[in-house]
Structure 1
């Protein structure tokens, strides 16, 4: 039995995604878009600061990278 390939982004799907993106950009007010983007940037900045604070005072490089990764990812989870 031959495997069928699954195409997640065929032409119809791509057209539908473009159509929905255009609709959403027309519907959202520019002020709301600006506030959302600034809030997302603030959350990512918070994650960067949190990663530095978590890793400060640790002398083992592997643990430093691990804690920095956990801290920085909290900013992305907030977004």
Structure 2
């Protein structure tokens, strides 16, 4: 069964995207597979910070310009999508 996921920021929604791989949450092999997968995850080239913790991934950036933040975060997301 294929899962679909979307991103939401205030009233803006991304398109639905399929999750093509994964293991069940709580599986004994999950931590090992996650560590192997994220080891070579690219760091964004847009100055956006990438934070990884357990099975969570976050992108963050500080700026005085809201639209600059949106543009740079979207570029970072696009880079990560190419990695997947």
Calculate the TM-score normalised by the size of structure 1.
0.33
* Structure with greater strand share of residues: 2
* Structure with greater helix share of residues: 1
Higher RCO by CA contacts (8 Å cutoff, separation 6 or greater):
1
Structure number, greater radius of gyration: 1
Calculate the TM-score normalised by the size of structure 2.
0.32
